[in-house]
Structure 1
Amino acid sequence: MRKIGLIGGMSWYSTRTYYEHINRGVQAKAGKQASAPLLIESLDFTDLVRLSTDDDWKRAGGVLADSAKRLEAAGATALLIGTNAMHKVYDAVAGAVSVPVLHIAEAVGQRMAASAVKKAALLGARNVMVETFYRQKLIAHDIELLPPEMAFVDTLDRIIYDELIIGKATRQSERELKTIITNLEQDGAQAIVLGCTELEMVVDVDANVLPIYDCTRIHSDAAVDWIMGG
């Protein structure tokens, strides 16, 4: 099995989810006694949350690039950025190392294209929903994305940053997500992309009115494939 590195801590709740999904996937393929050869660097999220200015993002790119270098030096043969929003600095991270950095939206786009999804809605933090760095990866797989509705953007951003990243999952937030997803179905979405690694805390991925493409699970599956040599 090949060793993989995870840049985590953004938030640590999602890093915990990655660890579980990756290890369960390796166990399913390699046997009940197996566990994933996995390096994790858990960054302090304090200075990386709610970035807004170009200088903020440039600094964040440097922080993640340095983390990637350390993981490569420690023996990682490929890397994951364990958060959707930080894929805004993917190019800075990928350019800092010689090993592959598995892009979360590329993995999701491939999975959706294989299922012939043509029209979907993307849910996540504000920059994931309204900027192009994530959306264009899905569009490149001939997936039409519904335009972001700003009322939904505001609601999701609040739930993610005020609740989920500190481990708080409320029934009220579950109800709000169900309402959003129902409205998106009425708007023509064939599927929902959970473009936030913590959203599975308030969305039932396996029992919903629409197919749910959970980025964390799909990204973890890509990691398992790499570890197993696929």
Structure 2
Amino acid sequence: MKVIGLIGGLSWESSAHYYRIINQETRERLGGVHSARSLMWSVDFGEIERLQHDGQWDALTLEMIDAARRLERGGADFIVLCTNTMHRMASDIEGAVAIPLLHIADPTAERIKAADFTKIGLLGTAFTMEQDFYKGRLTDKFGLDVLVPDAEDRRTVHEIIYKELVAGVVRDESRDAYRGVIARLIERGAQAVILGCTEIMILVHPEDSAVPLFDTTEIHAVAAVERALAIA
């Protein structure tokens, strides 16, 4: 079994779900009381959040490279960055270490294509929805047509993530707001929707959408187990 190196704390709410899913999946595949071999370097999300909203992406890149190098020195065989937004600097991380990075968008897109969907809605932080590092990969590498919410809906989705979900706060009113955003993406032709922030799965569930939801937290964590067990 390979050692999974997790960059966590982005936020720790979703990192806890990564740890649970990875170990549950390992036990299910191997049986008995097996669990995953893993390391986690967990950052202070308070510092990360401030740098994100200040646009200090160079400093954030150095922070992620430092985390990846710590995991590499600790014996990790590959890196799992437990967040969508910070994949903005995925190529910088890959260039700084000798071990591979399991990119969160890749297993997600593979699941979508296996389900024969081509037009997909994307929810996430404003950074993920508005910048090209994530949408561009889905389009250029996998040929997906990616829809994002309009400006007002993007603001709603982003604020709920940073004001509530990263702190573990789940409100019915916020779930209703997300349901409305999803419905409007469906009206524009979305065949399915990516939950492209690792905290959204805390709030939104399959019954909240008329089309399939692709939860990046679950998909990424399961892909990590498959890589660790050399299944894929």
TM-score, scaled relative to structure 1: 0.96
With 197-206 and 82-91 compared, the bigger mean Cα shift is at 197-206
TM alignment of 1:47-196, pairs within 5 A: 47-50=47-50, 51-52=52-53, 56-139=56-139, 140-196=141-197
Asked if 2 retains the 8 angstrom alpha-carbon contact of 1:206 and 1:212, the reply is no
Cα deviation code 1:169-195 (max 9, x no counterpart): 100011111111112111111000000
* 1:211 alignment counterpart: 212
Which one has a larger percent helix, Structure 1 or Structure 2? 2
Distance 2:148 2:12 in 1: 30
Per-residue CA distance 1:119-155 (angstroms, 9 max, x = gap): 0110000010011000012112121112441111100
The Cα shift of 1:41 comes to: 0.7
**TM-score, with normalisation over the residues of structure 2?**
0.95
Hey, what's the Cα distance between the residues in 1 that align with 2:83 and 2:149?
20
Task: Describe the SS at the equivalent of 1:40.
Answer: strand
Q: Provide the identity percentage.
A: 36
Q: Which moved more, 1:202-211 or 1:76-85?
A: 202-211
Alignment correspondent of 1:19: 19
Q: Return the offset for 1:198.
A: 0.3
Q: Distance in 1 between the 2:220 and 2:206 partners?
A: 15
Does the aligned pair in 2 maintain the 1:4–1:78 contact within 8 Å? yes
SS in 2 for 1:145: strand
Equivalent-residue separation in structure 1 for 2:213 and 2:148 (angstroms) = 18
Deviations 1:29-87 (A, max 9, x none): 11131101010111111111151455x11111101101101101111000111111111
The number of equivalent residue pairs is: 229
Q: 1:45 corresponds to which letter in structure 2?
A: F
Segment drifting more, 80-89 vs 199-208: 199-208
Structure 2: how far apart are the matches of 1:108 and 1:166? 25
Runs of at least 5 residues in structure 1 that lack an aligned partner in the other structure? none
RMSD: 1.3
Q: Tell whether 2:38 aligns with 1:46.
A: no
AA matched with 1:48? I
The one-letter code matched in structure 1 to 2:147 is: L
- In structure 2, runs of 5+ residues without a counterpart are none
Separation (CA, whole Å) in 1 of partners of 2:99 and 2:111: 23
**1:191–1:213: 8 Å Cα contact kept in structure 2?**
yes
Deviations 1:96-115 (A, max 9, x none): 11011000011211111111
- Runs of 4+ aligned structure 1 residues displaced above 2 Å come to 205-208
Q: In the alignment, is residue 31 of structure 1 matched against residue 24 of structure 2?
A: no
Which has the higher mean CA deviation after the structures are superposed, 44-53 or 57-66? 44-53
